[in-house]
Copies of this chain bind each other. A is one copy, B any other.
Amino acid sequence: MASDFEATRRLFHLPDGVIYLDGNSLGPMPVAARARVDSCVADEWGEMLITGWNKAGWMEMPARLGDRIGRLIGAAPGSVVLGDTLSIKVYQALASALELRPDRKVILSDTGNFPSDLYIADGLVRSLGGGRELRTVAPEAVEAAIGPDLAVLMLTEVDYRTGRKHDMARLIAKAHAAGALVVWDLAHSAGAVEVDLAGADTDFAVGCSYKYLNSGPGGPAFIYVAPRLQSQVRPALSGWLGHEAPFAFDLDYRPGQGIERMRVGTPPVIQMAALDASLDIWDMVTMADVRARSIELTEAFIRGVEAACPALTLASPRDPAQRGSQVSFRHKEGYAIMQALIAKGVIGDFRAPDILRFGFTPLYTTMADVTGAVRVLKEIMDGALWDREEYRRRARVT
């Protein structure tokens, strides 16, 4: 099929006068999500009450929606399940991977990883003790640091600040050759770039649904476990919905079949209803088309900003093949500049210490958004509008 991005844009609610370039932080509302959520609340919860778990299919949603996301990341049906938050899923994946490599002690990650992943890993190795260690190197030093002592390589594919993109397939092959397992965080990959989890022989992956996948604030995370590993994994957070027979209420834990064992507690049904509506839009496109369009948009933005705003320094890789679906620029007054942009209806975000971050999401970002954002950014930079008291004040209080 040919993806029709004019059609998909009409399926999102975007407030008047706003150019939204922060869908890599929180995606906008699919128009249909509103009615879908309302129906989940009123028709399902309201009318079916407890019977909704069966009648409305709530119990199967984590696996059903997992498969829908699976299509976007190269995962076979039955290898992705929803639940919890990304941090919890990182913990599960990492703890499960460590247990599959009991004789090795080292988790390797990089300083470009999202800090929460590092916090979770650090907490895990401290709890487990036994000489386990989280080793963190610069992103460009990861490949050389893969050695025979490595238990798990844990990386985020796309750097949340700069958009720098790791070569997943290459690093997975290197890690596997060293006898290690891999855990990939796809927070800025799922729905943003082409991911081929099965093709790259990935062991574990995790991601969130509220960024490019547009599930709304606090939508659940997902976890992928390679089919070849599923039966070997003993889930670290062994909750009742990951049990082989949750409603037998046995006193002993027996892991469920396949990916189901990575479930923990009661899933967030109302949040999942919003995601379900969003995934209907994703069904209209291919990731190859999304990626191609994303590159057109980011290339145009970089060209535009570099021509119009020489005071801003590109923080993202110039080669689109090494970049995710965002573009970042540095400026020492980045926070105040972003406040001024937001005040003029161009919403990106700021990441300390000096990064202005802009996400490009082909489902609803147009070339007109790109040129509009460049024009407003030029106005602000030319007039040093960010230096006005109102933005400096905002910058101080945050």
Contact = CB atoms under 8 A, between A and B. Distances in A.
Given A49-B20, A50-B26, A249-B115, A237 B270 contact: no
Contact of A28 (B46, B111, B128, B210): B46
A51 interface: yes
A216 interface: yes
Contact of A119 (B34, B239, B349): B239
A242 B272 CA distance: 24
Counting chain B CB atoms within 10 Å of each CB, which of A249, A252, A342 scores highest? Answer: A249
Interface in A252-293: 252-253, 264-272, 274
A70 interface: no
A49 B270 contact: no
A321 interface: no
Given A50-B22, A116-B265, A347-B50, A123 B235 contact: yes
Contacts of A218: 58, 266-272
A49 B22 contact: yes
A347 B85 contact: no
Contacts of A128: 127-128
A390 to B, nearest CB: 16
Contacts of A127: 95, 99, 127-128, 236
A248 interface: yes
A210 B37 contact: no
B29 A41 contact: yes
Category for how many chain A residues contact B: 35 or more
A349 B25 contact: no
B116 A240 contact: yes
Q: Give the number of copies in the complex.
A: 2
Contact of A42 (B29, B136, B243): B29
A60 interface: no
Given A216-B45, A240-B115, A210 B342 contact: no
Interface string A224-250: 000000000011111110010001111
B123 A270 contact: no
A381 B269 CA distance: 36
A86 to B, nearest CB: 6
Contacts of A26: 45, 49-50, 52-53
B13 A351 contact: no
Counting chain B CB atoms within 10 Å of each CB, which of A58, A84, A129, A271 scores highest? Answer: A84
A51 B118 CA distance: 26
A167 interface: no
Nearest to A53: B217
B247 A352 contact: yes
A315 interface: no
Interface string A88-132: 100100010001000000000001001110111011001111100
B253 A122 contact: yes
B34 A38 contact: yes
Interface string A11-30: 00101001010100110110
Contact of A37 (B41, B51, B118, B126): B41
Q: Closest 9 CB pairs between A and B?
A: A85-B265, A116-B240, A87-B239, A123-B238, A217-B269, A218-B268, A119-B253, A87-B265, A29-B46
Interface of A: 13, 15, 18, 20, 22, 25-26, 28-29, 33-34, 37-38, 41-42, 44-47, 49-53, 58, 84-88, 91, 95, 99, 111, 114-116, 118-120, 122-123, 126-130, 136, 161, 208, 210, 216-221, 234-240, 243, 247-253, 264-272, 274, 342, 347, 349, 351-352, 398
Given A119-B240, A249-B352, 5 more contacts: A44-B217, A58-B217, A88-B264, A118-B253, A119-B238
